[in-house]
């Protein structure tokens, strides 16, 4: 097993007891909840007559079902309205802080945690959402959990967990212009596969990660789960501390030095031992586009789609299903594939830096007439900041709809959906069959800048070609 | 809490690698605020056409009616952490899942519901799925104490299952709240030692 890693240190400092099952009872430092996976959990604790054990370490928001066009209440969708009512009544009943529309801090749970400084190095974090791995960017162990586990955290602030192995993933060197954190994470998944991370926590490092902003690190950690790793993290460093300083829930000036000393002490040791180490070169990474139905079915934007027999025998069925569903053929170029919808947003790429990069490409250009395009900021704060910078105008002038904060068409639990056989260029995280709200709908994942390039051309394009001429 | 030592019944194969939880239960059904109706929805979009007519998915074939052991391939349950996925399988009638491998959050969610996730090799699963298809009336018995799958009373194969998950099931401690609550004083002590909890 790994030794001296951040994973080991955080695990050991949060271990309460070895359980009779062999699992470890792990204290959870921050519990984030949202409307979709919490109502049943609240019902379960109410039924047992239990309270929320640590209401001051529990924070709630709404993101999955909220409409992004009109947020007037009651919502048009009666089920969404009922779900909204459930979380409103539960947070009141159990005394949980709630970031609702009125707060100015509502947004996708994995965007608002870091944004408000709730997410801090050395913590354990849990949320009833698989993309909780996002918070690992700060050097936390952040677990996506199911509703019955949400119940456990509400009732006890603990989880019964099995220890993971730790794989160190180094990406060294400098990313080429037009290549983003999204491409790095898609590239890693392409190389290690969607099952490669089962049983592992991923520790990301190397000079490419050292150079990344916090928002870029969040994009990579967000998709650790897509590679099968429940947890992904980056060791905290000066970039992390600079990001946190001054945020609402971050330690104040009087506590700052103590906090930084503690955070530094939680990073992996120089001589830490890992269960596995993998190395990649940043220079090898091109803008990546997925062509299939799992996030590892992807190619560089200038590559041709792989032949079926280039896959191992046990992958052939999935590959054939992918080609059939996507209506694409082996050997064809991904570049030039027509798109119907362009979506920018999600917990992967709905932060301010994502919108800035997308706006740079959109500025002075027009979305193709054949494309329905929209931008969904990840939080109310991101929306406000973008509007302050005039990004909303750039997007609107280019022909993108500018929306309110939420998960939107990443998982299509709100009115934002693909129709029929439509195909999207999407900055989200999953290209699963039916994911974006239509069972015949199709998704190609890529960076926000690449989504803009596709929206403008009406077909999958290499954003670097636009960057040369802008 | 029930001890779960053995599960006996017929098996239904659902073939394919990387069957994600969006395929097991489409997100639109997650808008319900209880799990009560989830048994109607497993694999919904793969089972029914636009008019709601069955398309011939194993869950709707008469020979598999009443099955309670699900046979799957690699990385079953990947993607979203939605517990609605195992809830929908359980409420449809599934009591155990045997596969080549499972996504971790899904397997953890199954254990919390008392559903074992047993693993076998690719070759063994191919044979098992073939047997279930050829002789759907075959009676299987999944024995968690012996880690053996029996068919028609005879030992068929040995399976693996994560030891802590097996312990939780056979000892009846898979519903973990009471285990965790029992250590409440120690939880407060651990929390108190964490600098970020005490405010640095």
Tell me what the mean pLDDT of segment A329-341 comes to. 98
A229 → chain B, closest CA residue: B104
Chain segment A54-79, per-residue pLDDT in tens: 999 999 999 999 999 999 999 999 99
A259 and chain B in contact, CB less than 8 A: yes
The pLDDT score that the predictor gives to residue A468 is: 77
B177 → chain A, closest CA residue: A152
Tell me what the mean pLDDT of segment B75-81 comes to. 98
Instruction: Quote the minimal CA–CA distance from B95 to chain A in Å.
Output: 17
Q: What are the boundaries of each domain within chain A?
A: 9-161, 165-239+263-284, 288-469
The B11-13 sheet, strands edge to edge = B11-13, B69-71, B96-99, B117-119
Both tokens assigned to A353: 């830096």
CB pairs under 8 A between A and B: 215
Determine contact, residues A165/A200, Cβ cutoff 8 Å.
Answer: yes
Adjacent-strand bridge partners of A442: A423
Q: B41, exposed or middle or buried, with CB in 10 Å at 0-12, 13-18, 19+? A: buried
Helices (H), A21-108: 39-47, 78-94
Determine contact, residues A124/A135, Cβ cutoff 8 Å.
Answer: no
Residue B124 confidence class, pLDDT cut points 50, 70, 90 = very high
Check whether A334 has a pLDDT greater than 80: yes
Same fold yes or no, A9-161 and A288-469: yes
**Percent of the residues in chain A that have a pLDDT greater than 90, as a whole number:** 99
* A124 vs A469: CA distance, rounded Å: 46
CA angle B164, A141, B195 (to 5 degrees): 110
* A451 vs A341: CA distance, rounded Å: 9
The pLDDT score that the predictor gives to residue B18 is: 97
- Residue A288: its H or E element: strand A288-290
The pLDDT score that the predictor gives to residue A327 is: 98
* B128 vs B8: CA distance, rounded Å: 15
Both tokens assigned to A433: 């069959």
- Write the CATH number of the domain with boundaries A288-469: 3.30.499.10
B22: chain A residues, CB-CB within 8 Å: 411, 430, 432-435
- DSSP, collapsed to helix, strand or coil, labels residue A464 as helix
The pLDDT score that the predictor gives to residue A325 is: 98
B27 and chain A in contact, CB less than 8 A: yes
Chain segment B17-57, per-residue pLDDT in tens: 999 999 999 999 999 999 999 999 999 999 999 899 999 99
Q: In whole angstroms, how large is the CA radius of gyration of chain A? A: 21
Chain segment A281-303, per-residue pLDDT in tens: 999 999 999 999 999 999 999 99
Identity of the residue in B16, B79, B105 whose CB atom sits nearest the CB atom of A317: B16
Look up residue A5 and give its DSSP letter.
Answer: S
Instruction: Quote the minimal CA–CA distance from B11 to chain A in Å.
Output: 22
Look up residue A206 and give its DSSP letter.
Answer: S
Check whether A470 has a pLDDT greater than 80: no
Contact call for A259 and B191, based on CB within 8 A = no
The pLDDT score that the predictor gives to residue A160 is: 97
Tell me what the mean pLDDT of segment B127-141 comes to. 97
Determine contact, residues A88/A66, Cβ cutoff 8 Å.
Answer: no
Token pair 């037009």 in the structure block, residue: A178
The pLDDT score that the predictor gives to residue A469 is: 62
Tell me what the mean pLDDT of segment A381-402 comes to. 98
Instruction: Quote the minimal CA–CA distance from A103 to chain B in Å.
Output: 24
Both tokens assigned to A389: 């910078």
Check whether A267 has a pLDDT greater than 80: yes
Tell me what the mean pLDDT of segment B132-161 comes to. 97
A-proximal residues of B, 52-111, CB under 8 Å = 73-75, 78-84, 86, 101-105, 108-109
- Mean residue pLDDT of chain A comes to 97
Chain segment A194-227, per-residue pLDDT in tens: 999 999 999 999 999 999 999 999 999 999 999 9
B73: chain A residues, CB-CB within 8 Å: 314
Tell me what the mean pLDDT of segment A86-109 comes to. 98
Determine contact, residues A348/A317, Cβ cutoff 8 Å.
Answer: no
Taking the CA atoms of A446, A432, A416 and A341 in sequence, report the sign of the dihedral they define.
positive
- Write the CATH number of the domain with boundaries A9-161: 3.30.499.10
- Write the CATH number of the domain with boundaries A165-239+263-284: 3.40.1060.10
**Which domains are assigned to chain B?**
6-173 (3.20.19.10)
Tell me what the mean pLDDT of segment A232-252 comes to. 98
B162: chain A residues, CB-CB within 8 Å: 162
Mutate to test the interface with B, among A14, A50, A158, A245 (most CBs of B within 10 A): A158
């Amino acid at each position: 097993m790994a030794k001296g890693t951040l994973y080991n240190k955080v695990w050991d400092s949060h271990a309460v007891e070895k359980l009779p099952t062999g699992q470890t009872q792990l204290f959870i430092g921050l519990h984030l909840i949202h409307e979709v996976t919490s109502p049943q959990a609240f019902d379960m604790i109410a039924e047992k007559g239990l309270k929320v054990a640590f209401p001051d370490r529990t924070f709630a928001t709404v993101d999955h079902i909220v409409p992004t066009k009109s947020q007037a209440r009651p919502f048009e969708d009666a089920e969404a309205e009922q779900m909204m009512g459930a979380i409103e009544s539960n947070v009141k009943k159990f005394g949980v802080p709630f970031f609702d529309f009125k707060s100015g801090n509502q947004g996708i749970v994995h965007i608002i945690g870091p944004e408000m400084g709730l997410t801090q190095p050395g913590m354990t974090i849990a949320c009833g959402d698989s993309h909780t791995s996002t918070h690992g960017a700060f050097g936390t162990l952040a677990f996506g959990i199911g509703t019955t586990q949400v119940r456990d955290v509400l009732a006890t602030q603990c989880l019964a967990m099995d220890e993971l192995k730790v794989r160190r993933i180094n990406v060294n060197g400098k990313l080429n212009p037009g290549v983003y954190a999204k491409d790095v994470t898609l590239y890693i998944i392409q190389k290690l596969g969607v099952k490669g991370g089962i049983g592992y926590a991923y520790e990301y490092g190397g000079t490419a990660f050292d150079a990344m902003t916090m928002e870029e690190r969040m994009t990579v950690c967000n998709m650790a789960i897509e590679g099968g790793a429940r947890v992904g993290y980056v060791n905290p460093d000066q970039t992390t501390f600079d990001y946190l300083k001054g945020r609402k829930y971050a330690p104040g000036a009087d506590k700052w030095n103590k906090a930084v000393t503690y955070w530094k002490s939680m990073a992996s040791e120089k001589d830490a031992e890992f269960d596995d180490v993998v190395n990649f070169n940043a220079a090898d990474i091109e803008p990546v586009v997925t062509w299939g139905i799992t996030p590892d079915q992807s190619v560089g934007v200038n590559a041709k789609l792989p032949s079926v027999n280039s896959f191992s025998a046990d992958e052939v069925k999935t590959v054939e299903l992918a080609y059939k569903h996507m209506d694409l053929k082996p050997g064809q170029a991904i570049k030039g594939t027509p798109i119907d919808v362009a979506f920018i947003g999600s917990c992967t790429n709905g932060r301010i830096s994502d919108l800035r990069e997308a706006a740079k490409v959109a500025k002075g250009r027009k979305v193709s007439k054949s494309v329905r395009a929209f931008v969904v900021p990840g939080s109310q704060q991101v929306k406000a900041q973008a509007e302050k910078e005039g990004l909303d105008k750039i997007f609107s002038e280019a022909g993108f709809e500018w929306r309110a904060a939420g998960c939107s068409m990443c998982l299509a639990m709100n009115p934002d959906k693909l129709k029929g056989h439509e195909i999207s260029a999407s900055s989200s995280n999953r290209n699963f069959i039916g994911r974006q709200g239509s069972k015949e709908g199709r998704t190609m994942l890529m960076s926000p800048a690449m989504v803009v390039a596709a929206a403008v051309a009406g077909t999958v394009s290499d954003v670097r070609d636009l960057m040369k001429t802008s | 809490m029930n001890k779960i030592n053995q599960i006996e019944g017929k098996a239904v194969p659902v073939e394919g690698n990387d069957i994600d939880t969006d395929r097991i239960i489409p997100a639109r059904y997650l808008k319900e605020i209880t799990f009560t109706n989830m048994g109607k929805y497993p694999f919904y979009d793969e089972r029914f056409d636009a008019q709601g007519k069955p398309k011939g998915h194993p869950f709707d074939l008469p020979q598999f009616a009443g099955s309670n052991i699900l046979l799957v391939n690699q990385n079953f349950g990947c993607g979203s952490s939605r517990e609605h996925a195992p809830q929908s399988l359980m409420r449809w009638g599934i009591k155990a899942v045997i596969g080549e491998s499972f996504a971790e959050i899904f397997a953890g969610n199954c254990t919390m519901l008392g559903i074992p996730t047993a693993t076998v090799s690719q070759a063994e699963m191919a044979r098992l799925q073939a047997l279930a298809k050829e002789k759907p009336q075959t009676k299987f018995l999944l024995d968690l104490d012996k880690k053996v799958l029996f068919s028609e009373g005879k030992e068929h194969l040995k399976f693996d299952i994560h030891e802590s998950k097996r312990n939780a099931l056979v000892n009846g401690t898979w519903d973990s709240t009471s285990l965790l609550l029992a250590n409440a004083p120690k939880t407060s002590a651990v929390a108190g030692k964490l600098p970020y909890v005490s405010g640095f």
